Amino acid sequence: MKAITANRLTDGRVIYRTEQGHWTPHLAEAARYPADDAGTALALAEGEFGVAVGPYLIDLDDAGPAGQKWRRESIRLAGPTTGTTHVLAADAGAR
């Protein structure tokens, strides 16, 4: 199965296309398209310039993102991997 993902134009948040043709930040609400129908749905999403930026297809299975790029899509879904838990080597030496 495939889903359509993009970034919301107003704040850059990851969003997914629903069956009703709207966008949601929740992967569970994303429309799931058979590979044969996904291209047509993507073409419609690409025409919505005022809502989403850079829509593209992702592979899905029952548990979530799948395929070769499952890790990238899992990170996009969960949020940034940087923050207070990650310390750069240059910062660690300055303390």
93 lies in some domain: no
Separation between Cα atoms, residue 9 and residue 24, nearest integer Å: 13
CA distance 73 to 25: 13
How many domains in the chain?
1
- pLDDT confidence of residue 95: 44
CB atoms within 10 A of CB 27: 19
Q: Give the structural domain span for 35.
A: 2-87
Mean pLDDT of 21-43: 92
The structure's pTM equals: 0.71
Instruction: Note whether residue 94 is domain-resident.
Output: no
Report yes or no on 16 lying in a domain. Answer: yes
Amino acid at 17: R
7: helix, strand or coil? strand
Per the model's pLDDT, the better-predicted residue between 38 and 64 turns out to be 38
Residue-averaged pLDDT of the chain: 78
